[in-house]
Structure formats: structure tokens, C-alpha cells
Amino acid sequence: MAEQQGELAPAIETSVMKRTLLFILLTVTLARADRVSSILGCTHNLKAIATALEMYSSDHGGNYPVGLYVLIPKYLKEIPACPAAHRDTYSGSWRVAGSEGFYLFCMGKNHGDFGLKVHEPTYSARHGLGPFAMVKQVNAIEDKMNGRKPVDRCMQNLKNVATALEMYSTDNSGRYPTSLKGLTPNYLRDMPECLDKDPYVYSMKVRPDSFLVHCPGRNHVKDGSPANFPSYDSQKGLSRE
């Protein structure tokens, strides 16, 4: 009997250890899922409020409301609560910011576990959602959840850069900038990068004025694109291959 108990003891200890490890892994996974859910919810709230503000402005001759409460109930059913703080953290941050349009953020340090500082994330009419590093993380998470490939996000980045280049050209007698640095911050808040953190390669020509911007290297070969693609040519548009 004593021998049987001695043989069972290591097996019991191993079983307990396995259950403990599984519990720890599950706890860590759930905690991470909660952090991701909170930041996605908060950024969604900011974008929803921003959309409501633009709708209000469109209906009121370009003017914004004196407070977010004015948006209820026509433009918003209610002011949403930050998922991490469980309360409205946006109304107190709302500011009309002159040429910037408007500015608001999540008040407090509610997303420090996601690497954000006090009063982040933010949203401005001119620059959109911020900070930029968080936006990249959120985009990557949403792409994975929605089944989008990295090349799809990269192509969207290139379209945004191309739009900014055309805006620059309109303001500068049809000429494009000599480098992409000329686009920030007036036409782009920050210069986007491929999810593999490679900066986009840009070249321009005159007579006729044209440009080409592409994702360098073999970042999207696994998604079916050859090296140095996708690309955007001012004459031919967006190309994946």
C-alpha cells in the first residue's frame, strides 16, 4: 500500500503542476484579450464621437457644438464609456482647436497596460486617431481579426500617401515634393510604414511631373506580390504586382 502511494505521489504532483500552468496561461491570455478589447473599444468610441461631430458640423455651417452632450440624441444615442474606465472619459477632454478643427482624448491613464501614456488615445479632426504607434498596433489587430492580409494594409498606406502627394501638388503648382518628408505634417500627420517597419521608397520626375512610391524588399511575397510591390504610380495607379 505504501509503495502504491509512493508511486502515485509524483503523478499527482505532475497533474497539479499541469493544471497550475494551464491556469496561469489561461489567466495571461484572458488578461491580454481584455487589454486588446479595451483599447479597440476606446478607439472605436473616439471614432464614433468624431463622426458624430463631423455630422453636427455639416448641419451647422461648419461649427462644432459647445459640448459633446449636444450630440445627444440626434447624432449619438449616448456618450460612450471607455471600456477600461467604465465611464465617460471623453466629454471633459473635448476642445475646439482652431485650424485643427477639434481635439479629444480618453482622460486619465486608462490604457497603460497597452503602453499608452496619460490622456491617450487621442483624436483630432486634422490628424485622426493617435498616437501613431498605437494606431499601427490596433490596425494590425483589426486586420488579423477581419482576415485582412498585411499587403492589404500596405496598399491602403500607399493610397493615403498618393492622396497626400496629389494634395501637395495641387498646392504647389503641379509639382511633387522632392521627398516624402515634404508631406508631414501638413498633408500626413506621420509617414506610414509597411507593417514590417520598412519605410516606403519614393521617386519623382518633372516634365511631366510624376511619382512612384513602393514597398521595398520581399515583405509581401507570401501574399502573392513580387519584390518591391505593392506600388503606386501617379500615371498607372495602385499595383499589387
Tens-place pLDDT, residues 19-41: 554 544 444 443 455 567 788 88
Is it the case that residue 63 has pLDDT exceeding 50? yes
Q: With left for phi above 0 and alpha for psi between -120 and 50, is residue 101 left, alpha or beta?
A: left
Return the ∠ at Cα 160 (arms to 41 and 205), rounded to 5°.
165
Residues facing 122 on adjacent strands: 105, 130
Tell me what pLDDT residue 27 has: 43
Distance between CA atoms of residues 81 and 90, nearest Å: 8
% of the chain beyond a pLDDT of 90: 11
Tens-place pLDDT, residues 164-174: 899 999 999 88
Q: What sign does the dihedral 94-97-100-101 (CA atoms) show?
A: positive
- pLDDT classification of 221: cutoffs 50, 70, 90: confident
Residue burial 25-44, b: 16+ Cβ < 10 Å; e: rest: eeeeeeeeeebeebbeebbe
The pTM for the full model equals 0.56
Tell me what pLDDT residue 88 has: 92
- pLDDT classification of 78: cutoffs 50, 70, 90: very high
